[in-house]
Structure 1
Amino acid sequence: MNIILFGAPGAGKGTQAERLVSERGMIQLSTGDMLRSAIASGSELGLRAKDIMDRGDLVSDDIMVGMIAERMDNDDSTSGYILDGFPRTVAQAEALDEMMASRGDEIAHVIEIKVDEAALFARIENRAKESAGNRSDDNAETLRNRLVVYHENTAPLLPFYQAKGKLRSINGMTSIEDVSSEINKILG
């Protein structure tokens, strides 16, 4: 079973993905990690991505989908994948659907973890205290910028997946355990 976790920055997607990896044996596919790994490996896709990034351009949808497909070819997961950081646009979602269909697969569920954005600022402050400032992105200004990017680029994907009947929304303002329980109910 393949899923996408959506939610504003700080909603708890990473925490829930870690739990799914641990409890269900799913594999988390982080596009940022994949780009760094592909570049380090010197693969054809990695070299193409590096050239594009060195020019300061964005890596194209076809390269990103190719990297996801390549990673799926290298991992033997019968439990499924959690997409993290992809897709970010409707064009990417459409390309992902085409790639998955060509493999006889699909995205089973898109789970939106809904949160009160005002409460996110308190979460970020707490996380900054807990990590003793070790994360440079744990501050209000960075969160504000990330929320703008999320609303402009990623949130428009929600109606796309809702129209396909794949979107499920859960309350992310409850405990980690309760959010995990709601995700597990969706996944069956």
Structure 2
Amino acid sequence: MIFLGPPGVGKGTQAQRLAQRLGLPHVSTGDMLRASVSSGSEIGRRAGAVMESGALVGDDLIVGIVAERLRLKDAEAGVVFDGFPRTILQAEALDGLLAAQDGEIGAILHITLDEEEIVERLSGRRVCAHCGAIYHMRHHPPAEVGVCDWCGGALLQRDDDQPEVIRKRLAVYQTETAPLIAYYRERPVYHLLSGKGDAETVFSQIVKVIGMSR
């Protein structure tokens, strides 16, 4: 299962929910990188060196780490990808990996949302500087403005949650992923879904399109 969509549409939340529902591992790019580096494998050491230098991990290393992850026993029945693939090269490589294992993509779930709503969602987020609790000024506000309900820590807005930064992130996403969407759009397993509404509403759409009973 593959989740696609810009920042702020809730694809991470939905990927986790679907993975739990199906009893499959939820696999994010960040998790894969950290696990590979911790394992001490050759490709993990190479990726670790790149990350330590501050450079971006290239497609070849990402694909190698995905191949490594798919060979683990818990992935035998499948995985739910969150944040992979990000490029055409990665998508083509995944097709090759799956073909070699007699596997296939079960569903491509592309979640979309109006840009202004994404900006509102992300710019309203606040994070406790002490315990990391997450709030939203509109949907999940603290009892006292600027103060964490749990520990009394100060609530801060992350730099990348500033509206102007969010708009730049969305522009980059659209530029980088347009070819990837085109690569997948004509496949029968591709589904375009609205991210509007609460998490349960969106999840109900996902359940319906992949043919799961509630």
TM-score tier by shorter-chain length is 0.7 to 0.9
Asked if the contact 2:32–2:65 (Cα under 8 Å) also holds between the matched residues in 1, the reply is yes
Q: Match of 2:171, as an amino acid? A: V
1:182 and 2:205 matched: yes
Q: Secondary structure at the match of 2:156?
A: coil
What is the deviation of 1:167? 1.6
Q: CA deviation at 1:55?
A: 4.6
Q: Name the Cα RMSD after superposition.
A: 2.1
TM-score, normalization: structure 1?
Answer: 0.88
Alpha-carbon distance in 1 for matches of 2:74, 2:35: 18
Q: What's 1:144 paired with?
A: 167
Question: Could you tell me whether the CA contact under 8 Å between 1:29 and 1:68 is conserved in 2?
Answer: no
The answer to whether 1:167 aligns with 2:165 is no
Instruction: Quote the Cα distance in structure 2 between the aligned partners of 1:77 and 1:46.
Output: 18
Structure 1 unaligned spans of 5+: none
Shift of 1:57: 4.2
**Segment of structure 1 superposing worse, 72-81 or 29-38:** 72-81
Larger proportion of helix: 1
> Aligned partner of 1:10: which letter?
G
Does residue 124 of the first structure (1) align with residue 147 of the second (2)?
no
**Paired residue secondary structure (1:107):** coil
Alpha-carbon distance in structure 1 between the residues aligned to 2:95 and 2:65: 14
- Is 1:61–1:95's contact at 8 Å kept on the other side of the alignment? no
Q: Distance in 1 between matches of 2:17 and 2:159?
A: 24
Distance 2:20 2:97 in 1: 27
Partner of 2:71, secondary structure, is helix
Report the Cα offset of residue 27 of structure 1. Answer: 1.3
Once the two structures are superposed, residues 8-58 of structure 1 have per-residue CA deviations (whole angstroms, 9 ceiling, x without a partner) of: 100010111121122221211111221122223321111111233345544
- Higher relative CO (CA 8 A, sep ≥ 6), structure 1 or 2? 1
Find the counterpart in structure 1 of residue 43 from structure 2. 45
Offset, 1:78: 5.6
Q: Which amino acid aligns with 2:91?
A: A
How many residues in Structure 1 have an aligned counterpart in Structure 2? 186
Question: Could you tell me whether the CA contact under 8 Å between 1:4 and 1:111 is conserved in 2?
Answer: yes
CA distance in 2 between partners of 1:4 and 1:40 (Å): 25
| TM-score, normalised relative to structure 2 | 0.78
Which residue pairs with 1:86 in the alignment?
Answer: 84
Q: From the superposition, tell whether residues 155 and 28 of structure 1 become closer, same or farther in structure 2 (CA, over 3 Å).
A: farther
The 2-side partners of 1:90 and 1:107 are apart by: 15
Deviation per CA, 1:123-161, whole angstroms, max 9, x where unpaired? Answer: 113332716337553332332232122111123211110
More displaced stretch, 60-69 vs 129-138: 129-138
Quick one: percent identity of the two aligned structures? 44
Contact 2:70 2:76 in 1 (8 A): no
Which deviates more, 136-145 or 38-47?
136-145
